[in-house]
């Protein structure tokens, strides 16, 4: 690339559409996105944000060290509330991941063109969220270095994991999800890595990007196999997304505890996952688009569509809340009725009512197109939803565990400072990874944007 003069003879320029700003050509989208990685460097805002994320990440390391040294007693968990922050955070994080796979897989199968500019960083978000999620069950075990006991391997005692246990299903579901997300993300990156390889001016960068690009040339045969692989991976990832959160909900619903033992859990959890996931995509998209000047690629239409999906999944979640309450009374089961009354009026009633406010009432504002099309409002809304979804998992876990069938076994749960440090630490870990990602890899899929330029130009042709 170094010696080639840029020329724009006969370049195709797209008139744009509602998902792509006007006046873009293959070259301009390539240059704009690859420049963020190759030439722009880091500004002060990047440095401050990255610094804060790293500080929190250091906190996580500290929290884990203390946990290893003293055991899970440093957390607030006790008997009867054996599942505290760790499982709340696990379910919350893994839920956040779901939107990324949904955007890159499901919307691909549905041929939604607007997914193009959000799918790459949404997928990265998935990967990092799953990394954060995966940490919690391991840490919660108390002796994380023995995690391999959950895997089916021929140990000397001939003992196998209990394959009928949802916790073992979880191991398979989450590790499969992490692996498939990684593969999907990497396969999507290959042609863009080749672009970076050809555009990089420093030898070191050329070699690094070149190694990961595997010698990609964009030959017609390559593309044919490549598109087939993308389609197949999307087809595999779509049911996987649904299955993972279904399996996570089985952790609860297979138990006989009031508040957990419910058949509505799988769809309710999946909808909630997508809900919080899209909230996270919005929380990332709004600042990215502002600081990197990507308004042409991440248009108002994108925000509007994501707002609509949030509204739809939020309504499914709201329906589930209503149904949970209704079923408790309809069944006449006194333990279920007590559980619901305890949630609404018991010691954790504040959590319940804040949850209803931030997760159910406030998101109704999304019915208004003005709110959906305003980046700032949407950004604030996404925080409301994420808080709501976290509280929902907290409520499900703590209020169900702390009072079960026999009053003599009742107890209370209160988080300790280490609960908070580990939780906030994973947020730092997530953003540390995300900051590195936007610095070293293209955050928008370049080759798919070129495809979009081609298609929008073709559509506009009379």
Partner 1 sequence: MAEFISAEELLEASQRASEAGYRKMDAYSPFPIEGLSEAVGFYKSKLPLLVFCGGLFGCCGGFFLQWWPNVIGYPQNIGGKPWDSWPAFIPITFELTILCAALSATFGMIALNRLPSPYHPAFNVERFALASKDRFFLMIEAEDPMFDLERTRQFLNELNPREVSEVES
- Binding site residues, partner 1, CB under 8 A: 1, 3-4, 9-12, 25-27, 30, 152, 158-160, 163-164, 166, 168-169, 172-173, 176, 179-180, 183-184, 186-187, 191, 194-195, 197-199, 210-211, 214-229, 232-233, 236-237, 239-240, 243, 247, 250, 447-448, 450-451, 454
Identify which of residues 167 and 357 has a Cβ nearer to partner 1 in the complex. 167
HSE value, Cβ hemisphere, 13 Å, CA-based, for 413 = 28
Please provide the distance, in angstroms rounded to a whole number, between the alpha carbons at the two ends of the chain.
35
> Whole-angstrom Cα distance, residue 23 to residue 32?
13
Identify which of residues 55 and 211 has a Cβ nearer to partner 1 in the complex. 211
The string of DSSP letters for 310-355 reads HHHHHHHHHHHHHHHHHHHHHHT-HHHHHHHHHHHHSTTHHHHHHH
Give how far Cα 273 sits from Cα of 92, 241, 292, Å. 8, 10, 28
CA–centroid distance for 190 within its chain: 22
CA–centroid distance for 36 within its chain: 23
Q: In whole angstroms, how close is the CB of 115 to partner 1 at the nearest point?
A: 16
Q: In whole angstroms, how close is the CB of 408 to partner 1 at the nearest point?
A: 26
Q: In whole angstroms, how close is the CB of 183 to partner 1 at the nearest point?
A: 4
DSSP state of 143: -
Q: In whole angstroms, how close is the CB of 25 to partner 1 at the nearest point?
A: 7
Count other Cβ atoms within 10 Å, centred on residue 324.
19
Identify which of residues 160 and 326 has a Cβ nearer to partner 1 in the complex. 160
Q: Estimate the crossing angle of helix 375-402 against helix 334-345, to 10 degrees.
A: 130
Q: Are 57 and 428 in contact (CB under 8 A)?
A: yes
Q: Is 354 exposed, middle or buried (0-12, 13-18, 19+ CB in 10 A)?
A: middle
HSE value, Cβ hemisphere, 13 Å, CA-based, for 449 = 31
Identify which of residues 9 and 79 has a Cβ nearer to partner 1 in the complex. 9
Identify which of residues 30 and 126 has a Cβ nearer to partner 1 in the complex. 30
DSSP state of 17: B
Q: Are 418 and 75 in contact (CB under 8 A)?
A: yes
Give how far Cα 27 sits from Cα of 10, 33, 447, 449, Å. 12, 10, 11, 10
Helix/strand/coil for 24: strand
Q: In whole angstroms, how close is the CB of 181 to partner 1 at the nearest point?
A: 10
Q: In whole angstroms, how close is the CB of 10 to partner 1 at the nearest point?
A: 4
Q: In whole angstroms, how close is the CB of 146 to partner 1 at the nearest point?
A: 19
Identify which of residues 178 and 421 has a Cβ nearer to partner 1 in the complex. 178
Q: In whole angstroms, how close is the CB of 38 to partner 1 at the nearest point?
A: 13
Identify which of residues 195 and 426 has a Cβ nearer to partner 1 in the complex. 195
> Whole-angstrom Cα distance, residue 115 to residue 132?
25
> Whole-angstrom Cα distance, residue 403 to residue 405?
7
Q: In whole angstroms, how close is the CB of 415 to partner 1 at the nearest point?
A: 31
Identify which of residues 393 and 450 has a Cβ nearer to partner 1 in the complex. 450
Identify which of residues 16 and 76 has a Cβ nearer to partner 1 in the complex. 16
């Amino acid at each position: 690339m170094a010696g080639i003069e840029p020329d724009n003879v006969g370049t195709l320029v797209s008139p744009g559409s509602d998902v792509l700003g006007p006046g873009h050509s293959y070259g301009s989208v390539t240059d704009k996105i690859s420049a963020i990685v190759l030439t722009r460097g880091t500004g002060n805002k990047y440095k401050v944000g990255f610094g804060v994320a790293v500080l929190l990440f250091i906190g996580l390391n500290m929290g884990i060290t203390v946990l290893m040294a003293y055991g899970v007693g440093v957390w607030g968990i006790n008997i009867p509330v054996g599942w505290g922050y760790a499982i709340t955070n696990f379910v919350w994080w893994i839920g956040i991941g779901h939107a990324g796979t949904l955007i890159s897989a499901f919307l691909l199968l549905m041929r939604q063109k607007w997914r193009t500019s959000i799918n790459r960083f949404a997928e990265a978000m998935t990967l990092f969220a799953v990394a954060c999620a995966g940490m919690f069950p391991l840490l919660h075990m108390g002796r994380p270095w023995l995690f391999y006991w959950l895997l089916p391997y021929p140990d000397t005692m001939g003992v196998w994991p209990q394959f009928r246990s949802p916790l073992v299903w979880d191991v398979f579901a989450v590790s499969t999800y992490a692996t498939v997300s990684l593969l999907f993300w990497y396969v999507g990156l290959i042609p863009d890595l080749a672009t970076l390889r050809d555009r990089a001016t420093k030898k070191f960068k050329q070699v690094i990007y070149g190694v990961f690009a595997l010698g990609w040339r964009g030959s017609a045969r390559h593309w044919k196999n490549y598109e087939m692989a993308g389609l197949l991976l999307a087809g595999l990832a779509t049911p996987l997304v649904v299955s993972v959160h279904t399996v996570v909900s089985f952790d609860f619903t297979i138990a006989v505890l009031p508040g957990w033992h419910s058949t509505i859990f799988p769809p309710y959890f999946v909808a909630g996952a997508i809900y919080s996931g899209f909230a996270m995509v919005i929380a990332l998209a709004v600042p990215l688009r502002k600081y990197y000047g990507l308004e042409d690629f991440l248009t108002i239409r994108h925000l509007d569509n994501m707002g609509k999906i949030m509204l739809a999944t939020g309504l499914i979640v709201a329906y589930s809340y209503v149904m949970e309450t209704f079923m408790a009374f309809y069944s006449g089961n006194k333990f279920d009725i007590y559980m619901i009354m305890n949630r609404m009026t018991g010691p954790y009633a504040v959590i319940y009512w804040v949850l209803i406010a931030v997760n159910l009432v406030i998101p109704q504002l999304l019915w208004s197109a003005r709110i959906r099309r305003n980046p700032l409002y949407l950004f604030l809304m996404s925080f409301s939803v994420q808080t709501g979804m976290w509280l929902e998992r907290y409520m499900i876990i703590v209020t169900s565990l702390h009072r079960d069938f026999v009053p003599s076994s009742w107890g209370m749960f209160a988080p300790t400072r280490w609960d908070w440090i580990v939780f906030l630490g994973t947020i730092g870990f997530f953003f540390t990874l995300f900051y590195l990602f936007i610095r070293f890899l293209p955050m928008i899929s370049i080759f798919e944007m070129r495809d979009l330029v081609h298609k929008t130009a073709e559509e506009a042709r009379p």
